[in-house]
Chain A
Amino acid sequence: MKRIGAIVALVLAVQLAAFAQDWDPGGTLKKLSARASNTVDVTLDQSMLQFAGGFLNSKDPDEAQAKNIISKLKGLYVHSFQFDKPGQYTEQDVAAIQNYLKGPDWIRIVDVRSKSEGQNVQVYFKKEGQQFKGLVVLATQPTQLTFVDLVGPITPEDLRALGGQFGIPKVEVHPNPAGKKGESK
């Protein structure tokens, strides 16, 4: 009986570990994937991030800083969904994701909304105690939704340092625990 309990615990532990690696808030991403016309998933686990970090020049100050940041990360997961026409994903779908980012561990640092283009971008940092543990980017357009989950110690200053590299836009971030809107360039 103890052996069965141990096996069950092991299976649960493995599943929880997998959940921690590639997060799907409330299974929303899976639901969106079923409705999207095109889905792209990119997975960069720790070994791949280490490999990518090997390309950066330690003698260049900017690249050395980026290399140092990347070396500490545990994973980067990108899920992008493209829809045929507006309305195929709803505000409720977005809210389902945002609800998971309203907990006390999460701080919204960037909130950009463009009414003319219907484009919204929000950046959330995960904080445990005084330590930053991850980052989520939620970007929506009428026919596209992108969810980026970065796992590992990354601070708003790190995000600013990475701006302009690896296709990451330059971002001016000002941590605001109250969850008020930040600024983005």
Chain B
Amino acid sequence: MTRRLVALCAVLLLAVPCFGGNDCDFNFNALVKTIETQYGVHRARIPFLGLAMFCLRVGRVPGAADFKIAVFENLPQSNVASNDAFERSVQRAIGNGWHPLMRARSSKDGSVTMIYANPDEENMRVLIVALDGTEGTIVRARVKKSQVWKWLSKPQDAVNGENDPPAHAQVAAAAD
């Protein structure tokens, strides 16, 4: 249940819709299928997620798009933190275009959080895979370079939706 709340918060905070199109080249469903097959579960249905996504299409935050989320519940207890097999299966599913940016593991509760990035000239695509006990979440989003700068330099503005990135960051993004 906690995962569902986190997932819904992520939706509301990021406020980004999935547009599909050229940038949806990463097979999100392949990763979902990998986890479903590996753990013998199905992704959970999030109540009102469809409605939330529809609303977000209207009131989206500029600079972010291509948002997808999958939540898993009732995963079998397995200490994925103690071996690299899960990470390898994720990397196989998403392909070599995604770079492992951060991995945090806890041997206490067996939780794993992995962040992958796929930058290009204008955007940073981010994939977050989190397994915590019997729950798991996958989130993917595409964020404009200038927006990444904005969030990194002033994280509080990511929530408030204020201030533009500095001029040089906009120029750099435009030049790319």
Interface residues of A, Cβ cutoff 8 Å to B: 33-34, 36-45, 47-48, 50-51, 54-55, 57-60
Contacts and interface: CB of A to CB of B under 8 A. Distances in A.
B172 A54 contact: yes
Interface of B: 81-82, 99-108, 117, 119, 124, 145, 148-149, 152, 166, 168-169, 172-173, 176
20 contacts: A36-B107, A38-B107, A39-B103, A39-B104, A39-B105, A39-B107, A40-B105, A41-B100, A41-B102, A43-B101, A43-B103, A45-B99, A47-B119, A55-B145, A57-B166, A57-B168, A57-B169, A58-B168, A59-B168, A60-B168
Given A48-B117, A57-B166, A57-B168, A42 B101 contact: yes
A41 B103 contact: yes
B108 to A, nearest CB: 5
A181 B58 CA distance: 60
**Is the contact region of chain A dominated by helix, strand, or loop, or is it mixed?**
mixed
Contact of A48 (B82, B99, B104, B169): B99
Contacts of A43: 99-103
Contact of B99 (A36, A47, A59): A47
A33 B105 CA distance: 9
Contacts of B108: 37-38
A34 B104 CA distance: 13
B84 to A, nearest CB: 9
B106 A37 contact: yes
A40 B104 contact: yes
Contact of B176 (A40, A42, A48, A54): A54
Contact of B101 (A44, A55, A58, A59): A44
A45 B103 CA distance: 14
B131 to A, nearest CB: 14
Given A38-B106, A47-B119, A48-B117, A54 B145 contact: yes
B101 A51 contact: no
CB-CB nearest 7 A-B residue pairs:
A51-B119, A57-B168, A41-B103, A39-B105, A40-B104, A55-B149, A38-B106
Contacts of B176: 54
Given A42-B101, A48-B101, 9 more contacts: A37-B106, A38-B108, A39-B81, A39-B103, A40-B104, A41-B100, A54-B145, A54-B176, A57-B168
